[in-house]
């Protein structure tokens, strides 16, 4: 069928919560994907920071195929060697202290829901007055009602009010945090880099202040590494190096790149204040920790290690950011590793905001990118991206921006 016919079927048969898709993709290899019309695109979005190993990675494909032939699902009355191995591996690579524990989910939103339940339960048991949750303005933590309650964007929240209460949004500044923190706060949730907001790292010193203030006031610190974790920024966690040693968060949430494209999430309870909160019967999930997801996670981590993809993320990320800064019309390049945001000058074209126009112009030239706002573009390519791919995009970008301006 023609691509347009398939897009019409989408409109007829699927709930339109994502709007109309622009492509029908049929296959991928490495950093490239192909649509039903046979056109190939360099994927610089990576499924929104998901496809860490690109598409069709041999070891990843083999691990899932092998596991599917052995055992696909068991209930949570049981465990599997794959679940135990992935839990241990995650705790090791994230620098979790002795006694830390993992809980597996199917997505980042579910991992954050588990974290929020943990925070609430901790607050209720520690002191009935601990009823406040702090979250950051411009933060994003998911679309389910609990995760949405700590997501600040009004357009996401308004249609579903009233959401679970007790949440206060503060500016991502140390002064605002010091002013808001008190002994009645149960927890603080934050992203080390606010991805959906346009890839904005937290100010220098904020994470250390957050750890100090939460600990001093008996609150839990939840670090949402759903988008930033698993090598995306050139290290296993974006917060590593800042929050390490004695300055570890109480909870870390992961997803996206963790499965390399297979649905999986995880919540890591890192400190004694977090590990003993959710006992038997307090939380659960049918599919969380299933053998297929565990095999995908193990294969993804193994490939990142074997192929030195943390270093590649750092090297290719620098190459991208340096190249972007040299292009006329690109301003304020941000991010770490292969999570990059940048703004465009003169954000309005003839017919509207320049960001979405640039996305369309890039797609016409064979590149998949993402606009997070009227003038902001985001890149989150596979960690396997090569210099030739980076250079091809940088060479094409001036023409992409010119076409966007003329649209």
Predicted pLDDT of residue 5 = 87
Give the β-pairing of 185-190 and 339-344: unpaired
Predicted pLDDT of residue 387 = 98
Q: Which two tokens stand for residue 149?
A: 């309650």
Contact 55/45 with Cβ under 8 angstroms? no
Q: Please state, in angstroms and rounded to a whole number, the distance separating the CA atoms of residues 40 and 80.
A: 39
Predicted pLDDT of residue 169 = 98
pLDDT at residue 177 tops 60: yes
> What is the per-residue pLDDT across 88-140, written as a single tens digit (0 to 9) for each?
999 999 999 999 999 999 999 999 999 999 999 999 888 888 999 999 999 99
Average confidence score pLDDT of the chain: 95
Q: Sorting pLDDT into bands at 50, 70 and 90, what band is 282? A: very high
Predicted pLDDT of residue 126 = 82
> What is the per-residue pLDDT across 58-73, written as a single tens digit (0 to 9) for each?
999 999 999 999 999 9
Q: Please state, in angstroms and rounded to a whole number, the distance separating the CA atoms of residues 177 and 356.
A: 34
Predicted pLDDT of residue 348 = 56
Predicted pLDDT of residue 128 = 86
Predicted pLDDT of residue 86 = 98
Predicted pLDDT of residue 350 = 55
Instruction: Name the helix (H) or strand (E) containing 133.
Output: strand 132-136
Give the β-pairing of 339-344 and 376-379: antiparallel
pLDDT at residue 264 tops 60: yes
Q: How would DSSP label each residue in 314-377?
A: HHHHHHHHHHHHTSTTEEEEEEETTEEEEEESS-EETTEEHHHHHHHHHHHTTEE-EEEETTEE
Q: Which two tokens stand for residue 97?
A: 């202290």
CA dist 205 → 177, 208, 227, 233 (Å)? 12, 5, 21, 18
> What is the per-residue pLDDT across 127-142, written as a single tens digit (0 to 9) for each?
888 999 999 999 999 9
Predicted pLDDT of residue 351 = 64
Q: Which two tokens stand for residue 398?
A: 């001036």
Q: Which two tokens stand for residue 204?
A: 């220098």
| Proportion of the chain above pLDDT 70, given as a percent | 99
């Amino acid at each position: 069928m023609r691509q347009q016919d398939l897009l019409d079927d989408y409109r007829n048969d699927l709930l339109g919560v994502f709007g109309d898709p622009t492509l029908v993709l049929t296959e991928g290899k490495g950093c490239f994907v192909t649509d039903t019309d046979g056109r190939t695109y360099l994927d610089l979005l990576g499924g929104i920071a998901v496809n860490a190993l690109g598409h069709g990675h041999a070891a990843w494909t083999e691990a899932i195929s092998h596991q599917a032939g052995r055992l696909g699902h068991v209930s949570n009355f049981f465990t599997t060697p794959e679940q135990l191995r992935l839990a241990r591996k995650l705790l090791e690579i994230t620098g979790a202290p002795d006694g830390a524990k993992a809980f597996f989910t199917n997505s980042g939103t579910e991992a954050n829901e588990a974290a929020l339940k943990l925070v609430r339960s901790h607050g209720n048991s520690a002191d009935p007055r601990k009823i406040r949750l702090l979250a950051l303005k411009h933060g994003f933590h998911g679309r389910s009602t609990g995760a949405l309650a700590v997501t600040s964007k009004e357009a996401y929240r308004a249609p579903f009010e009233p959401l679970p209460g007790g949440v206060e949004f503060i500016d991502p500044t140390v002064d605002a945090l010091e002013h808001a923190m008190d002994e009645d706060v149960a927890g603080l949730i934050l992203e080390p880099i606010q991805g959906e907001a346009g890839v904005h790292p937290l100010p220098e010193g904020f994470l250390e202040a957050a750890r100090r203030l939460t600990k001093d006031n008996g609150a839990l610190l939840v670090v949402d590494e759903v988008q930033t974790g698993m090598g995306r920024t050139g290290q296993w966690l974006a917060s590593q190096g800042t929050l390490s040693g004695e300055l570890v968060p109480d909870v870390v949430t992961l997803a996206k790149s963790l499965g390399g494209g297979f649905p999986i999430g995880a919540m890591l309870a890192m400190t004694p204040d977090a590990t003993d909160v959710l006992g038997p019967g307090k939380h659960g999930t049918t599919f969380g920790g299933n053998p297929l997801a565990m095999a995908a996670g193990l294969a993804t981590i193994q490939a990142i290690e074997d192929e030195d993809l943390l270093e590649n993320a750092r090297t290719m990320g620098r190459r991208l950011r340096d190249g972007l800064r040299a292009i006329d019309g690109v301003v304020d390049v941000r991010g770490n590793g292969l999570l990059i945001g940048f703004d465009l000058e003169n954000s309005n074209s003839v017919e509207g905001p320049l960001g979405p126009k640039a996305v369309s112009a890039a797609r016409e030239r064979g590149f998949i990118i993402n606009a997070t706002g009227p003038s902001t573009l985001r890149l989150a390519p596979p960690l396997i991206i090569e210099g030739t791919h980076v250079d091809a995009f940088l060479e094409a970008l001036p023409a992409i921006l010119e076409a966007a301006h003329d649209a």
